[in-house]
Copies of this chain bind each other. A is one copy, B any other.
Amino acid sequence: MATRWGLCGAGKISHDFSVAMKTLPPGDHQIVAVAARSLERAREFAKKHSIPKAYGSYEELASDPEIDMVYLGVLHTEHWRLGLLVLQAGKNMLCEKPFAMNSREVGDLIAASKKSNVFLMEAIWSRCFPLHREVRRLLAEDAIGDIKLVKASFGSPQLHIPRSVEKELGGGALLDIGVYTLQFVLMVFNGERPESIHATGVLLNSGVDESMVVVMKFARNRLAFCFFSIAVSLPNDATISGTKGTIRVLGPMHCPTTLEVNGKTTQYPLPEPSLPLNFTNSTGLRYEAEEVRQCLLKGLKESPRMPLSESALLTEVMDECRKQVGVVFNQDSQ
């Protein structure tokens, strides 16, 4: 039986998600409804992607009994409010990253999922890529010896995009792209808590972070650092340096198709999209959709690839980074 999806949000990422879905067997995944703030917008989206139902309110979507799983692809600042709506309606949910604006909000979402006994996952799609499965396998096999240093970076000039720079819209490099570099580090260290975190950053006039360097120290003399910026282009890649070798995830690190292990390169090609995409390599969203399906089939309430405990830790790390560089959202004082 197909997993029946409802899309909460008819924006760019929902578009790409729908295109990615078309690369999966229709017997496995169906998008049965889409909701947007306006019915017109939802209808337009539904028509474009051949989705049977369109709703002009998120409440209608949340209460549609035909939906197994909601994909929440709205603005960061709306994740908490709409996420709670969906979870409290008893629906499983895949929530776009960042999970929410801070640990308090993420805690509320996790608590709501447990109370409703539904599946919940932060949509860190990177972790579901086949390449990442191989990285995890190599690390589990100790293929590069003891890990000494992990590095991840992502820089993309997007100061012209309101969503990226305005505080009220949840702007800043950290929440939008830094999150990918930090989740990579936590993935390598398998959810271990860093012993120390130090963030140095520079802010835009709007009060959100333009660029940041985050250094973490883990037990047993292991270092990690991330740097990211919405002002300049930076390599979008990640490297794990071990005593016996090096694993490199080449750009784009957050949706990767090229792995280099001790200089040897392997490609993990993606299916071609049937419509133009908004974001890089977005047909790779198929992997997280399939991960969600497999979890549901097993009766799991969270994904082992991105457990809720790790989403909580990731958010804690981001809270700490923001605190150190002085980014305060309205949500932090509530």
Contacts and interface: CB of A to CB of B under 8 A. Distances in A.
Given A149-B234, A196-B200, A198-B200, A223 B246 contact: no
A215 interface: yes
B222 A149 contact: no
A165 to B, nearest CB: 14
Number of copies of chain A assembled together: 2
Interface of A: 148-149, 151, 155, 157, 196, 198, 200-203, 210-211, 213, 215-217, 221-223, 225, 227, 229, 231-234, 241-243, 246
Nearest to A324: B198
24 contacts: A148-B210, A149-B155, A149-B211, A149-B227, A157-B243, A196-B200, A198-B198, A198-B200, A198-B215, A200-B223, A200-B225, A202-B221, A202-B223, A203-B221, A210-B221, A211-B223, A213-B225, A223-B227, A225-B225, A225-B227, A232-B242, A232-B243, A232-B246, A233-B246
A319 to B, nearest CB: 19
A165 B213 CA distance: 28
Given A149-B211, A149-B229, 8 more contacts: A149-B234, A155-B241, A198-B198, A200-B215, A201-B223, A223-B227, A231-B243, A234-B241
Contacts of A229: 148-149, 241
A246 B215 CA distance: 23
B227 A151 contact: yes
Contacts of A202: 217, 221-223
